[in-house]
Structure 1
Amino acid sequence: MNEKSKIAVIGGGSWATAIAKIALTNAQEINWYMRRQEQIDEFIRLSKNPSYLTGVKFDTDRINFTSDINKLVRTSDILIFATPSPFLKQHLKKLKRPLHNKFIVTAIKGIVPDENLVVTEYFEQFYNVPKDNIAVLAGPCHAEEVALERLSYLTIGCTDRERARMLSQRFNTSFIRTSISDDIMGIEYSSVMKNIYSIAAGICHGLKYGDNFQAVLVSNAIQEMNRFCNATNPLHRDINESAYLGDLLVTAYSKFSRNRLFGTMIGKGYSVKTAQIEMEMIAEGYYATKCIHEINEKYQISMPIVDSVFEILYNRVSPTMEIRKLSEKLK
């Protein structure tokens, strides 16, 4: 990888659109894969994504769109995946070209369902991508604020620090600050788990619990996250850094957080199905809750918040009853 390496974005949602905006700040052009050709046609006609971050105008002459994932992989060096985790396998189904010689960047804050693997593990195990060829994009960075060019911070996790630094330079802009880390698994698991805690915060908001309780909930959540990260990937990390605590805070409190919105609807009495239909967006935390709950069957870490969200979402336990029980365990 070098400064001339061609960047490609995979995905057509709000986060993929925000990443494309960042990438185009320093790159002359990018490749961009979207599954539906009609979305591409409408994008080119309007000079903006017709469905997401519609306030962001693009110079489409600098974008090589394609709905052919094999063409994208053939013509790109750095592949940035920004699709919802439940759809990753679906996007890769038509892939015939190898990925082991590409630099893979996952901006997916979710776990691959069924396999219960974080995305870096999935690419390693199923596509033989070496560890040094994979990076994680994380941190408190809502797509909507990137679109408004409000100052945001990204952490790039990679075992190869030189490659992490090069990618960091490509993403450093007037509105994006970057840092690097070698705690790939910790960052990735934190990115997954903060969505679960955001759903918990939303449920409590829907049940009309106040700010005092929310503060206790979030402070317990970061301890829970730390216990899980230390058990699954023991190495020195500062859980108070922005890639961990910062990402948790913004997802638990922000009006842009779809996981918090999903939780709020559940707390107000919506069924899971109804909340998902009304949102018209993926709440990654719904899938993450089941995955993390199943992974923790092996580790048996004390995770009362994750357990409570699982009971509410998958066993249809009353949110009122479950949060009341949870409140007795928090401190």
Structure 2
Amino acid sequence: MSVTVIGGGSWATALIKILSEKNIKIKWWLRNIEAIKHIKKHHHNPEYLSSVELHPSKIKPYHNLKEALKGSEWVVLAIPAAFVEAALADVNPELFQGKKIISGVKGMVPSHNLLVTDWFSEKFNIPKGNFGAIAGPCHAEEIALEKQSYLTIASENIDTAKDFAELLACRFVKTAFIKDIDGVEYAAVMKNIVALACGITHGMGAGDNFQAVMVSNAMLEIERFVNKISPAEREINSSAYLGDLLVTAYSQFSRNRTFGNMIGRGYSVKTAQIELKMIAEGYYAVKSIHEINKHLGVKMPILDFTYGVLYKNQSLLKAFEKLKEQLI
């Protein structure tokens, strides 16, 4: 069996490590030619999770995406949502025909305000049943340390979800599978926004008491939004939803929380992006979800707070005072 992983960052590297636990052929596309040379020679990613030893007998890095896609049964997307469109701009749709596409991207394609799987389905004319999405809670840094982790695979085609869940299951990753792909993807987008808000308020000096209130309110906000945009029966308090929110809102490894924390301490958006050196998916997601909610009209005070601070240059103190009054 052959799997192509698209992306060269920490999450892509973590997925490569997980998949390497199985006896399968892994094709790995990276944009950075120097990183490819380093991986071939030294067997680790020089820029992300560099402690992870890669198995040269199982992994073959590629710079040519078309070559990396040929012959693979599964394709795993693990690049920031903001770069998905550019990375796949020149790919012939025929290269994806008959393949199962799994999104590890927890964001939206910004210029279209679409979930990655919806954008992919439209662009390449692929049935939604051929897609799956990976839900957490699971930080790449803990995968590198082989800390016990849990992943849920969602797909409209439950066989697709089950098959890929079996591919990811290993000695340090337990997996489950469900059908709620839209709910899982939207919840993942929303939890990044919440993590930004948690970081902003923490950077301003708010304590654990306030964060606990905000996260509990955020779960209600996520539930309202997801049920409005994708009505379905779902266990919103399971690890695929609530667990992913908690780890992103609280963890030291959360880049969205870290980005928000810098904003709360007075950094400009541009300065915070430069210093973070990684993409905070929530920054782009805030604008996309705000645009979508103009038509849905869901009550979302945490989204409004984060959008106002990041995109409307609202006073942190005034925005915070308004947020406090809206939480319960």
* Aligned: 1:54 with 2:53: no
Counterpart CA distance in 2 for 1:43 and 1:89 is: 26
1:132–1:160 Cα contact (<8 Å) kept: yes
Give, in whole Å, the separation in 2 of the partners of 1:172 and 1:77.
18
TM-score by length of 2: 0.98
Report the Cα offset of residue 32 of structure 1. Answer: 0.5
Q: Distance in 1 between matches of 2:26 and 2:208?
A: 43
Q: Is residue 2:175 matched to residue 1:216?
A: no
40, 58, 64: which one aligns with 1:44: 40
Partner of residue 165, structure 2: 168
Residue equivalent to 2:107: 110
What's the offset of the Cα at 1:97?
4.5
Identity between Structure 1 and Structure 2 (%):
47
Determine whether 1:70 maps to 2:70.
no
The residue type equivalent to 2:101 in the other structure is I
Partner of 2:314: 317
Q: Deviations over 1:24-60 (max 9, x none)?
A: 1013331110112221001222210000001111122
Structure 1 pair 97–68 and aligned structure 2 pair: CA distance change class (3 A):
farther
1:14 aligns with 2:17: no
The answer as to whether partners of 1:69 and 1:94 remain within 8 angstroms in 2 is no
Q: Measure, in 2, the Cα distance between the counterparts of 1:247 and 1:103.
A: 24
Match of residue 290 from structure 1: 287
Tell me how far apart the structure 1 counterparts of residues 31 and 65 of structure 2 sit (CA, whole Å).
8
Q: Report SS of the residue matched to 1:7.
A: strand
Distance in 2 of aligned mates of 1:97 and 1:221? 38
Q: How far did residue 100 of structure 1 move?
A: 3.0
Partner of 1:191: 188
Q: Secondary structure at the match of 2:57?
A: helix
Identify the match of residue 240 of structure 1 among 231, 234, 237: 237
Structure 1 distance, partners of 2:91, 2:132, is: 20
Answer yes or no: is the 8 Å Cα contact 1:192–1:285 preserved in 2.
Answer: yes
Distance 1:100 1:240 in 2: 35
* Long gaps (5+) in structure 1: none
Say whether 1:119 aligns with 2:113: no
Q: TM-score, normalised by structure 1?
A: 0.97
The residue identity in structure 2 corresponding to 1:34 is L
- Aligned residue pair count: 327
Measured against aligned partners, the alpha-carbon deviations of 1:270-299 in whole angstroms (never above 9, x if no partner) come to 010110011111000000000000000110
Quick one: which of 21, 25, 30 aligns to 2:26? 30
Q: How many angstroms apart in 2 are the aligned matches of 1:238 and 1:75?
A: 37
Q: SS at 2:167's partner residue?
A: helix
Q: 2:86 aligns with which of 87, 90, 105?
A: 90
CA contact (8 A) 1:116 1:295 kept: yes
User: Structure 1 residues 167 and 325 mapped into 2: Cα distance closer, same or farther (>3 Å)?
Assistant: same
Aligned counterparts of 1:230 and 1:94: Cα–Cα separation in 2: 35
Aligned-pair Cα RMSD in Å: 0.9
